[in-house]
Chain A
Amino acid sequence: MESEPEKFTQYVLERFGIPIPDWVKIEGKSNLRMMSSELQNFQTTTPKGIPAANMNGVFPKPSTSFLQLFGNLATKNVIELEKEDALKFATRENLQTLQNAETGYVILKYKGATLGCGFYKEGKIENFFPKQRMITLK
């Protein structure tokens, strides 16, 4: 039976076309963490690396940190935003788009840089940008 890290690795490959590099190790059950292979082998009692995904939902939910690190490898289900929408996204507003994607999680980018994760359905994008990183517009 596939482990949760294996399911997530397969999911991001199928959904986004992201091949997770060999040296990046994914560990955990429902809340997955990612780490360097050297850190995985390092002796410590504290959590290693940073969050990679939440596996509790219908679809695995990749973390913003995961997408900001590996979003440049994505080949599909990527939505490129104009500046105005990019700023709105960073304020955690939901968005509308004319661009096409498959229903499910999408990667949102601005001028090639990954902003984070949204959930696309019928032209609407639900915002999953982390509250602690949001910006405020004057």
Chain B
Amino acid sequence: MQKEEYLSWLSKYTDAEACASAQEDLSYFIRVNTLKTSVENYLDWTGLELEPTLLPYAFKVISPPEGGLGNTLDFATGCIHTQALSSMLPPHILGPSREDTLLDICAAPGSKTTQCAALMQNRGAILANDSNRGRISALSDNLERLGAINASTSNRNGAIFAHPHKFSKALADVPCSSLGSNPGAFEHWNLNFSKSISPLQFSILRSAFDSLQEGGTLVYSTCTYAEEENEKPVARLLSENPRARLEKIEGIPNTHPGISDYGSEFRNAARVYPHEFGSEGFFLAKIKKEG
């Protein structure tokens, strides 16, 4: 799609010019891996110049080192992981604890999985699934480097995923058009792509929801703006499952509610835009399975 046409489409959601411009110049963020160090010790230890964020373990990197963040002792020791601040929101909102069993249904390369492991203090159990066999090695490498010992990987199709265990928490960070994370993605995108991937996103969401125990919670997320990939799959889940309820996402500043055309309950969802939040574009919905 041509940029002009894309901006015209995006303007139905937000200030398209500001959004696209911010996306081309996004900051780098790191997550301190609290499985290996404390935030306090790490800040004493590192030579990086950092700025705090809304998450106590996440920092904006003021001036990334010349060789890249992946080429530092900080990274090699597994004390940090490079991860967009927006990408840290799904685990933060889900808030898993050491008592949980968690399904991460689209886990590779493992940024959110390892963040969940840290929030769970390496206790409980995580099933880190990804349907793409080629990405399992990247997932395993990150689990090892970051020291997540409460996770097991699996390589099943998320759209038809079934497991004998019923999980207390689930993450469904589904494949998407990446318009919020990749500034050039619009060039290879059109609305038909979003319409065509929407049924797959719904199927993955449904599998994750069906894998939840009663009273369990899941977070559905994408890094894109199209409602066909965001509100639409969630609305279908809500309409087909009377036990599914959207829970309010609170405490994340500079975000917007979901689109109300899909129902007033979408005021509980969150849309994240780069020019307002300062990191990648995201969509987040927190869904509870009532008993």
Residues from chain B with Cβ under 8 Å of A73 in the complex:
none
Q: Is the CB of A135 within 8 A of B125?
A: no
Q: Mark B53-86, 1 if CB is under 8 A from A, else 0.
A: 0000000000000110011110111110000000
Closest chain B residue to A37, Cβ basis: B123
Q: A76 at interface (Cβ–Cβ under 8 A)?
A: no
Residues of chain A whose beta carbon lies under 8 Å from any beta carbon of chain B = 23-24, 34-36, 38-39, 41-44, 46-51, 63, 65, 68-69, 86-87, 90, 110-115, 129, 132-138
Residue B36 CB within 8 A of the other chain = yes
Whole-angstrom distance between the alpha carbons of A63 and B164 in the complex?
A: 32
Residues of B with C-beta under 8 A to A44: 127, 152, 154
Contact A49 B149 (CB under 8 A): yes
A137 to chain B, nearest CB (A): 8
Quick check: is B178 within 8 A (CB to CB) of the other chain?
Answer: no
With A42-B101, A112-B41 known as contacts, the answer to whether A136 contacts B67 (CB < 8 A) is yes
The answer for the CA separation of A35 and B117 in the assembled complex, in Å, is 12
- Assuming the A-B contacts A38-B124, A39-B125, A115-B73, are A138 and B66 also in contact, with contact meaning beta carbons closer than 8 angstroms in the complex? yes
Decide if B66 touches A69 in the complex (CB within 8 Å). no
The residues of A that contact B75 with a CB separation of less than 8 Å are 135
B198 at the interface (CB under 8 A from A): no
Q: Scan B104-143; emit 1 where CB is below 8 A from any A CB, else 0.
A: 0000000000000000001111110000000000001101
Q: B73, A90: Cβ atoms under 8 Å? A: yes
A36 contacts B41, C-beta separation under 8 Å? no
Residues in B whose Cβ lies below 8 Å from that of A136: 67, 71
The answer to whether B123 touches A23, judged by C-beta atoms less than 8 angstroms apart, is yes
Is there contact, CB below 8 Å, between A113 and B151? no
**Closest residue of B by beta carbon distance from A39:** B125
B interface residues, how many (CB within 8 angstroms): 39
Q: Is the CB of B150 within 8 A of A35?
A: yes
Closest Cβ neighbor of B71 among chain A residues: A135
Given contacts A113-B45, A115-B77, A136-B67, contact A65 B122 (CB under 8 A): no
Q: Do A36 and B124 touch (CB < 8 A)?
A: yes
Which of chain A's residues have a CB closer than 8 A to the CB of B140? 50
Find out whether the CB atom of A39 lies under 8 angstroms from the CB atom of B151.
yes
Interface pair B150/A36, CB less than 8 Å apart: yes
In the complex, A110 Cα to B41 Cα: how many Å?
Answer: 13
Q: Which residue of A lies closest to B121 (CB)?
A: A36
Given A90-B76, A136-B71: A69 in contact with B45 (beta carbons within 8 A): no
| Nearest-neighbor residue (CB-CB) of A137 within chain B | B67
Q: Select from chain A the residue with minimum beta-carbon distance to B33.
A: A68
Is A38's CB under 8 angstroms from B147's CB? no
A4 to B217, CA, bound (A): 39
Is B148 part of the contact surface with A, judged by Cβ < 8 Å? Answer: yes
Contact B149 A69 (CB under 8 A): yes
Closest-by-CB residue of B relative to A90 is B76
CB-nearest residue of chain A to B155: A46
B284 within 8 A of A: no
For A24, give its contact among B45, B125, B126, B149 (CB under 8 Å). B149
Give the distance to chain B from A36, nearest Cβ to Cβ, in Å.
Answer: 4
Q: Which residues of B contact A46 (CB under 8 A)?
A: 152-155
Q: Are B149 and A38 in contact (CB under 8 A)?
A: no
- 10 new A-B pairs (CB below 8 Å) besides A38-B101, A63-B144? A39-B126, A41-B125, A42-B125, A46-B152, A46-B155, A49-B150, A50-B143, A110-B77, A133-B145, A134-B76
